[in-house]
Amino acid sequence: MNALLLTAVFGVIMMLSSFLLTSKTAIRGLAVSGMVIVLAANVLEMMGIVFFKIDTKDMIAFDRFSLLFNSIVFISTLVYFLLSARDMEKVGINYGEYFALIFFVLCGVTLSSSFHSLLILFLGIEIISIPLYILTGSDKRNLKSNEASLKYFLLGAFSTGLMLMGIALIYGATGTFSTNGITTSPTSALVIAGMLLLMFSMAFKVSAAPFHFWTPDVYDGAPTVFTSFMATIVKVAAFIAFMRLFNDEFGSLQSRWQLLIALITAITLFIGNITAVFQQSVKRMLAYSSISQAGFMMMAIFAMNADAREGLLLYSAAYCLATIGIFAVLMKLKDYSFDGFNAFAKQQPLLAATTTIFLLSLAGIPLTAGFLSKFWMIKAVAGTGKYLWLVIFAVLMAVVSVYYYFRVIQAMYFKEGDGQTIEASLPFKWTLVLLAGIIVLLGVFPNWIIYWLYF
Amino acid sequence: MGASSLIVLMIAAVAFSGIAILISKFVLKATTNKQKGEPYECGIPTKGPSWVQFNVGYYLFALIFLIFDVELIFLFPWAVVVKQVGWLALVEIVVFFFILFMGFLYAHKKGALKWM
Amino acid sequence: MSSVPMSHILFVSTALFFIGMYGLFTRRNMITMLMAIELILNSVNINFVVFNKYLYPDKLDGIFFTIFIITIAAAEAAVAIAIIINLYRSHRSIDVENASEMKW
């Protein structure tokens, strides 16, 4: 509850700051300190100190899982602010509003990670989506940005329609919005239809395979600063909502949806990885890589056991931090193609080293957080004892993904080129080093996160 | 009151308006002139094409109006229970309007309400 | 007046839903597509109200959900119209076919 109210309040404060504060440094400082306060309040709530005791009539349930996830999201956003807040100035003049919209998105993330009612799920997903439409189109003079926001809006609104129809059908069958699980037996056709509609719309939001086609265009067209935010924090938030929905509401119907989710997972892994191989621009490659990572996260929804819950949290931390790091470096470059990274190691040895760690983590090389999170996912799927072909397929696809991540590393270290000159401040470098350190440490001690789930 | 009364009502409505039109057709002597084709028979003739583009400021006003207008829908459920809930309801609606006022203040300060 | 069977109203709402889908997929004018989206949302509204009225009349859950859908739809429409105006300024057209800087 702390985080939910504070994010909303800080959203409003940032909105007002856009005309009350004139200096951009002050706005940035306010945003970062706001993020620290939100994070601190959320950690306090994990320790049992709740500032606001509000009776939500059992519509929102802040349990350990959602609180821990919120902490991960807030840490990622803090890192994102520290690394990339300066780059938002390039997008347009409305500097304060970008932060306000990001805080509103975080408010939606808090709702959608802790809903216990389909109404809150809908509100959370919409509060995430609507500011994102604006952020995607925030580069007003850029045609690609306009177009990306249009596509995002049309497909997002379409999937919202599907989700609402699903909720309506489930309401018709059960008469309640609380996600206590479907208990009516035999299961009526209304429930099955509603479940399918909800599954498709959530697959849209997490960009799983048959519904992924908006992702590359939107991520490519949006200003790179906001692509970094959308591809990481928003995506894992949608996954948490997906998982909560299918765990709480449709958990009793697992045998009915498991095959479908397995197929979606396999197709997502296949399309994401294979298409990423053929990309020429690193930004677009990262968009496809986010689809393939979504495939791995879908395995948690398929398995839906204790391992899957731990794994999804670990995965969201590893994926968010690494991708935010790569995007922060990418934003400094002018040329987004693979050739833009040529001889990058000679130019900026420190940045190249940290980027390598991020890429290794995404590829799932041991000793990084990315490896352990992938391992957890595979363990979870193997633990269900069904569909073992999915495990083999996932490992194969992880091998494919090594190719396109290593292309960047190869360009940085082994290719000759003139190397782009970029200016990177000292705090920026140290934040990146710290981030790389966290990723390696999480790869050795994953219990730092898992511990909080149970103690 | 069954379906039959509905049908009777429909027939009566059509007949009523139809008879009025027919009577006027028979009684009046029809004259045609150029003025009859004007969109405003008794107004001032338009100068230039009337399909002009509106200033984008109109849309801005329309959007702001749309948002504030629709927010008022939350007053309906509030109005139903305000007597039962008592003072708490009053506090809550004040908070609600305070948030709306923040949005209004933002729009005002950003110059969205300023006419060209 | 409640002699109208539920299936009739559900038929209307389902028809609206699919008309909206059809419009969204076939029309190329952005304003029309926006209207199609509104049709979809309104069909869901009808569904909620009907289910509430006919099946679970003791609680008002469905009607309150409708109120939230209406406000969210207004917010969505405002953002959409802002996007469309912005796109019109750069393309001088509101036809989605002209918005093809990026290939799918």
Residue type, A250: F
CA atoms within 13 A on the CB side of A112: 29
Contacts of residue A224, defined as CB under 8 A and 6 or more positions apart, other chains included, come to A87, A283, A327, A330, A331, A336
For residue A438, give the 3-state DSSP assignment: helix
Alpha-helical segments (H) within A222-343? 224-229, 235-244, 254-277, 282-303, 306-332
Using CB atoms, pick whichever of B56, B63, B77 lies closest to residue C67.
B77
Contact call for residues C36 and C20 (beta carbons, < 8 A)? yes
Its domain, for residue A360, covers 254-455
A147 and C87: CB-CB below 8 Å?
yes
Beta bridge partners of A60: A115
Structure-block tokens of residue A316: 């969201």
pLDDT exceeds 80 at position C96: no
The total domain count for chain A is 1
Q: What is the mean pLDDT of residues B86-98?
A: 91
Whether residues B67 and C78 touch (CB distance < 8 A) is answered with yes
Residue A352 backbone class (left: φ over 0; alpha: ψ -120 to 50; beta: rest): alpha
Question: For residues A225-250, b (16+ Cβ closer than 10 Å) or e, as one string?
Answer: bbbbbbbbbbbbbbbbbbbbbbbebb
**A434 domain residue, yes or no:** yes
Structure ipTM: 0.92
A405 close to A363: Cβ distance less than 8 angstroms: yes
pLDDT at C104: 42
Instruction: Flag if B109 and A19 touch (Cβ within 8 Å).
Output: yes
Residue C64 with chain B: CB contacts under 8 Å:
77
Task: Look at chain C and report how many structural domains it folds into.
Answer: 1
Please report whether residue A106 resides in a domain.
no
Count contacts between A and B (CB, < 8 Å).
Answer: 12
State the number of CA atoms in the 13 A half-sphere of A201 facing the CB: 25
Instruction: Residue C81: list chain B partners with CB under 8 A.
Output: 59, 63
Locate A91 and state its tokens: 């997008």
> Chain-wide mean pLDDT for chain C?
86
Please state, in angstroms and rounded to a whole number, the distance separating the CA atoms of residues A63 and A19.
Answer: 38
Measured distance CA(A221)–CA(A153) in Å, rounded: 13
DSSP B35: G
CB contact under 8 A, A172 and C64: no
B36 touches chain A (CB under 8 A): no
DSSP letters for A334-350: S--BGGGGTTHHHH-HH
How many Cα atoms sit within 13 Å of B13 on the Cβ side? 6
Which chains have at least 3 CB atom pairs separated by less than 8 Å from chain A? B, C
* Separation of alpha carbons C36 and A315, rounded Å: 38
Q: Is the pLDDT of residue C101 over 70?
A: no
Give the residue numbers spanning the domain of C22: 6-97
Which amino acid is present at B54? F
Q: Give the chain C residue nearest A127 (alpha carbons).
A: C72
CA distance A135 to chain C (A): 11
- Give the distance, in angstroms, between the CA of residue A95 and the centroid of all CA atoms in the same chain: 23
* Residues B9-63: tens digit of each pLDDT: 999 999 999 999 999 888 887 777 776 666 666 666 667 776 676 677 777 888 8
Tell whether C70 is within 8 A of chain B (Cβ): yes
CA proximity to A277, closest of A264, A267, A288 = A288
C-alpha C68/C-alpha B113 separation (Å) is 27
List the single residue in A157, A171, A220 with the smallest CB-CB distance to C76: A157
pLDDT 10s digits, A386-434:
888 999 999 999 999 999 999 889 888 888 877 666 777 888 899 999 9
Q: Are A374 and A398 in contact (CB under 8 A)?
A: yes
Cα dihedral sign, A183-A305-A309-A232: negative
Q: Domain for residue A150, yes or no? A: no
CB distance A210 to A264 below 8 Å: yes
Measured between beta carbons, the chain B residues lying within 8 angstroms of C71 are: 70-71, 73-74
Q: Which residue bears the tokens 């107004």?
A: B43
Q: What's the pLDDT score for residue B12?
A: 94
pLDDT in tens, chain A (455 residues): 888 999 999 999 999 998 888 888 999 999 999 999 999 999 999 888 888 888 888 889 888 889 999 999 999 999 999 998 888 888 888 888 999 999 999 999 999 999 999 999 999 999 999 999 999 999 888 888 888 999 999 999 999 999 999 999 999 988 888 888 787 766 788 889 999 999 999 999 999 888 888 999 999 999 999 999 999 999 999 999 999 999 988 888 888 888 999 999 999 999 999 999 998 888 999 999 999 999 999 999 998 888 888 899 999 999 999 999 999 988 888 878 888 888 888 888 888 899 999 999 999 888 888 899 999 999 999 888 888 899 999 999 999 999 999 988 988 888 887 766 677 788 889 999 999 999 999 888 888 888 877 76
The answer to whether residues A275 and A143 touch, using CB atoms and an 8 Å cutoff, is no
In a domain, A308, yes or no: yes
Query: CB A12 to CB B102 under 8 A?
Result: yes
- Go through chain B and tell me how many residues it has: 116
Collapsed DSSP state (helix, strand, coil) of residue A189: helix
Chains in contact with B via at least 3 Cβ–Cβ pairs below 8 Å: A, C
Q: Give the Cα separation of A13 and B43 in Å (integer).
A: 52
CATH (domain of C34) = 1.10.287.3510
The tokens for C40 are 């979809």
How much is the pTM?
0.89
Task: Reduce the DSSP state of residue A175 to 3 states and report it.
Answer: coil
Is C71 in the B-facing interface, judged by CB distances under 8 Å?
yes
* Set of chain A residues whose Cβ sits within 8 Å of the Cβ of B56: none
A122 belongs to a structural domain = no
Residue A331 lies in a domain: yes
Sign of CA dihedral C82, C83, C84, C90: positive
- CA-CA distance, A219 to A226, in Å (whole number)? 9
Using alpha carbons, select from A322, A395, A407 the residue that is nearest to residue A361.
A322
Residue C29's identity, in one-letter code, is: N
Q: How far apart are CA A136 and CA A220, in angstroms?
A: 10
- Contact of A184 with chain C, judged by CB distance below 8 Å, is answered with no
CA C30: distance to chain centroid?
A: 14
Contacts of C85 in chain B (CB under 8 A): 56, 59
Q: Nearest Cβ partner of A119 from C20, C65, C84?
A: C65
Residue among B63, B92, B104, B110 with most chain A CBs within 10 A, to mutate: B110
Asked if residue C102 is part of any domain, the answer here is: no
pLDDT band at C2 (very low <50, low <70, confident <90, very high): low
Under 8 Å CB pairs connecting chains B and C tally to 25
Rounded CA gap, A391 and A375, in Å? 10
Q: Would you state the pLDDT for residue B32? A: 76
- The per-residue pLDDT for A422 is 74
